[in-house]
Amino acid sequence: MSDMSTTASFTLRDLNRQPAKILAAVRKFGSAEIRTRAGEVFTMASKSTRNRRAKRFDLRGHFEAIWEKQRAAGYVPPRREEFDEERFNRIIAGEA
């Protein structure tokens, strides 16, 4: 199996001898390629993964809705000139 981030690659022998391993890779990566000795390549993917990928998620719209709710609740974001980068970095590091 290769260590690609989006698709796992297996041989037909792997499918025959270790089907659970291939199904685990499909769950993890969304799909798996199965190669034969003749050079054919087949892709195995779950139906639920295909349906989730078919729907486009509007990330910008999602965050705009969250920010609108925060503004409606009275939240006022800090201005850029008030931002203290060194203090922020200390807070992340757990030093403040």
- Asked if residue 26 lies in contact with residue 46, where contact means CB atoms within 8 angstroms, the answer is yes
- pLDDT at position 40, please? 92
Angstrom distance (rounded) from CA 86 to CA 88: 5
Tell me the CA distances in angstroms from 41 to 32, 33, 49, 61, 85, one per residue in order.
Answer: 10, 6, 20, 38, 51
Which are the contacts of 69, defined by CB distance < 8 A and separation ≥ 6? none
Whether residue 26 has pLDDT greater than 70: yes
pLDDT greater than 60 at residue 27 = yes
Q: What is the mean pLDDT of residues 9-27?
A: 92
> What local confidence, expressed as pLDDT, does residue 8 receive?
85
Contact call for residues 49 and 72 (beta carbons, < 8 A): no
Residue with tokens 């290769």: 2
Highest mean pLDDT among 6-20, 35-49, 62-76: 62-76
